[in-house]
Amino acid sequence: MIDVEDEAVTDSTNNGSDYDVIIVGGGPAGLCAAMYGGRGMLRTLLIERGLPGGELLNTELIEDYPGFESILGRDLADKMANHARKFGAEFVTDTVDAIRREPGGGFVVMTDLGKTYRAPAVILTAGGTPNKLGVRGEKEFAGRGVSYCAVCDGAFFKGEVLAVIGGGDAAVEEADYLTRYASKVYIVHRRDKLRASPIIQQRALANPKIEMVWNKVVEEIEGDERGTRRIRLSDTVTGATSTLDVGGVFVFIGFTPNTGIIKEHADHDSQGYLVTDSHMMTSIPGLFAAGDVRVQLTRQITTAVGDATTAAIAVEKYLAERREQASVGAA
């Protein structure tokens, strides 16, 4: 939860170093922010729990990033990370446990390895996590038929029969989107009524390529060396089991933004996405957000790096204003 009671930080020990800006999260937004931070001559630290790249590392091929007609997700991640390092950004592999604001207005970032890092500004680019089905075969076929992003991966399924799991706005909209590539799209929903808004439902149900599969939940995703081949279903009313032959499974049962590490209230929407101003600053002065973690219309690599560009440049201006205020106060 974001609405965690703020606790004063009393431990003055700093096992890390002091920086101008700390970036939490090493996906496309974080890597872009790190590049701009270094380029702006800021002492920049990026903390990422794994290899730099975030969801790029889970995407086989990217064909919607300007300048690259086609590039492997891992290759794009490497290029972005190397670009940030070129301008002096420092990288640390660790998991951030908490971001707390200190009495003086700066921030302390605490990690799982027991380190603390301090900076007057933080850019949160930790993104979010698509909710998983938690069934057998989901992990095994992730990236090989199981996807959580229709815009990212839909073009790889031309002519295939696909299954979309979910019944909300995202699931129904993405099912409609996928029909431009697929020969047929099943919407598999655990109830006998969709949760999507009426206008979205009308558009999808009028699409001849879409067929509803009511009162069903996925029990298992099956496939072979080529990828996903079928899903096993269980009827939520009768308990009967069945199978559905599909070449791909798109899961849209929710998305959880990684905002729980903020140990102070920050304005957010009903789903937990951070609300920012035009400079990407949250309601907490000095805490900026970019990419999938904030409220926005779409979540793509291009929007993530756009947010990050704005946030990093805004941090420069924010720090300059702080220095000016401090000098006036000291005069």
In which band, very low, low, confident or very high, does the pLDDT at 256 lie, cut at 50, 70 and 90? confident
Please indicate whether residue 153 is annotated as part of the active site. Answer: yes
The predicted pLDDT at position 299 comes to: 79
**Does the structure show a pLDDT above 70 at 297?**
yes
Q: Which of 20, 75, 97, 149 is catalytic?
A: 149
Q: Which of 132-141, 151-160, 250-259 has the highest mean pLDDT?
A: 132-141
Q: Is the dihedral of CA 63, 65, 69, 71 positive or negative?
A: negative
147-156 pLDDT tens trace: 998 878 899 9
Mean pLDDT of the 258-286 span: 95
Q: Give the pTM.
A: 0.73
Does residue 169 carry a catalytic annotation? no
DSSP string, 61-129: EE--BTTBSSEEHHHHHHHHHHHHHHTT-EEEE--EEEEEE-TTS-EEEEETTS-EEEESEEEE---EE
Strand-pairing partners, residue 90, are 45
pLDDT score, position 331: 61
Instruction: Name which of 6-15, 24-33, 180-189, 248-257 the model is least confident about.
Output: 6-15
Distance separating alpha carbons of residues 288 and 276, to the nearest angstrom: 8
For residues 204-224, average pLDDT: 96
Domain boundaries, the chain: 21-130+255-330, 146-251
What pLDDT sits at residue 4? 37
Whole-number Å distance between alpha carbons of 245 and 311: 45
Reported as a single tens digit per residue, the pLDDT across 41-84 is 999 999 999 999 988 886 767 888 999 999 988 999 999 999 99
Model confidence over 305-322: pLDDT tens digits? 999 999 999 999 999 999
Q: How many CB atoms lie within 10 A of CB 175?
A: 30
β-bridge mates for residue 71, sequence order: 62
Which pLDDT does position 10 carry in this prediction?
34
Q: What is the pLDDT of residue 14?
A: 40
Nearest of 120, 21, 23, 122 to residue 323 by alpha carbon: 120
Answer yes or no: are the C-beta atoms of 96 and 24 closer than 8 Å.
yes
pLDDT at 24 over 70: yes
Higher pLDDT, 127 or 241: 241
Percent of the chain with pLDDT over 90: 76
Which is nearest to 316 in space by CA: 88, 29, 21? 21
Report the topology of domain 146-251.
FAD/NAD(P)-binding domain (3.50.50)
Of 153, 176, 292, 307, which residue is the catalytic one?
153
57: CB partners within 8 A, 6+ apart = 50, 51, 73, 74, 77
6 or 97: which leads in pLDDT? 97
Q: Does pLDDT of 9 surpass 50? A: no
Q: How many CB atoms lie within 10 A of CB 297?
A: 6
Q: Which CATH number describes the domain made up of 21-130+255-330?
A: 3.50.50.60
Residue of 152, 176, 292, 307 marked catalytic = 152
